[in-house]
Homo-oligomer: A and B are copies of this chain.
Amino acid sequence: MSFFDLYMNRNPLITSSDDDTEPVATVFGVPFDSTHSYKPGCRFGPDSIRDSFNNIEIFHPDLQVNLETVNIEDLGNTRHTVVASEMIDMVKKITTELVAKQRQLFILGGEHSITYGTYTSFPKETGYIVFDAHYDLRDEFADIKLSHASYLRRIVEERGSENILHVGARAFVKEELEFLKENNIKTISDREIRDGKGPRLVKEYVSTFDSIYSSFDLDVLDPAFAPGVGNPEAVGITSRELFDMIYPFQETKVIGADIVELNPYHDNGSTASLAAKIISTLIAMNLSPNQ
């Protein structure tokens, strides 16, 4: 055995204690933020999440799962492009290949537009639940049809709104509200979360699906909990409220998830640690013997 095996890891990629077993999950990053309208920088999100993930404790006593002893496959980042359509094309092809492998998949953003490339590469019957302070339902924004502000409209146009649940919106424009209503998109509002109804409503929704894909736009959280985002929107939900809505995912199987809009330029580490905990929790839930 070489000393490399003993002493070296592939850090800054996500590293596992055990590299020899079949991976329990696959991760890749999409460092894309070219359509960003306010504070750019979420292209640096994937590496920041990796760094935080490599430094948190990953034993879940409630779930009886010890992530220290499992293998997570990190494929690195997609090559650089500044063209949204190129990015989507690339992300769709990669995701499609990975979906075929039937391993829990995590995509690290990058801006929310990447979800248009990832979720639509999963089977049609997959439920979609997105946490976001915004609806991202504009028809066009800053002269472009496909951006972080319109990705969900593109998805609805392509797949319909049946399998979609939007959670936590608190800032939007009139045209988004109209599209939302016309398409009967299901929602859990900021107010419902605050009133404590979130977990039950999520549970009801996810239990109707065999498998779901979940998208976490971190700006759904109050900027106190997630300052490192491109569009901080005051007066959001707490991290406890978010995780209380994640635990009900145990009712179904999370086959894919993305964590988007993390902007390290404005983060102090809090946001990255939340992103890391979302990932470790979803993996642990997937592996839990209780499930």
Contacts and interface: CB of A to CB of B under 8 A. Distances in A.
Given A234-B274, A239-B235, A268-B266, A82 B7 contact: no
A38 B9 contact: no
Contact of A269 (B225, B240, B266): B266
B268 A78 contact: no
Given A35-B82, A40-B33, A77-B9, A59 B269 contact: no
Interface stretch (A122-130, A168-176, A209-217): A168-176
Contact of A76 (B12, B97, B227): B12
Nearest to A223: B270
A47 to B, nearest CB: 5
Contacts of A51: 47
Contacts of A179: none
A276 B134 contact: no
7 contacts: A3-B97, A8-B28, A8-B78, A9-B79, A34-B34, A34-B82, A223-B270
Interface in A66-124: 66, 68, 75-83, 86, 90, 93-94, 97
Interface stretch (A141-149, A155-163, A199-207): A141-149
A2 interface: yes
Contact of A265 (B75, B76, B265, B274): B265
A210 to B, nearest CB: 27
A61 interface: yes
A233 B56 contact: yes
A173 B142 contact: no
Copies in the complex: 6
Given A82-B143, A83-B144, 9 more contacts: A7-B78, A8-B79, A12-B12, A35-B82, A38-B55, A55-B231, A57-B173, A59-B172, A222-B239
Interface of A: 2-4, 7-13, 15, 28, 31, 33-41, 43, 47, 50-51, 55-57, 59, 61, 66, 68, 75-83, 86, 90, 93-94, 97, 134, 142-144, 147, 171-174, 177, 194, 222-225, 227-228, 231-235, 239-240, 243, 265-270, 273-274, 276-277
A243 B235 contact: yes
Contacts of A147: 82
Contacts of A223: 225, 268-270, 273-274
A270 B133 CA distance: 14
Nearest to A40: B40
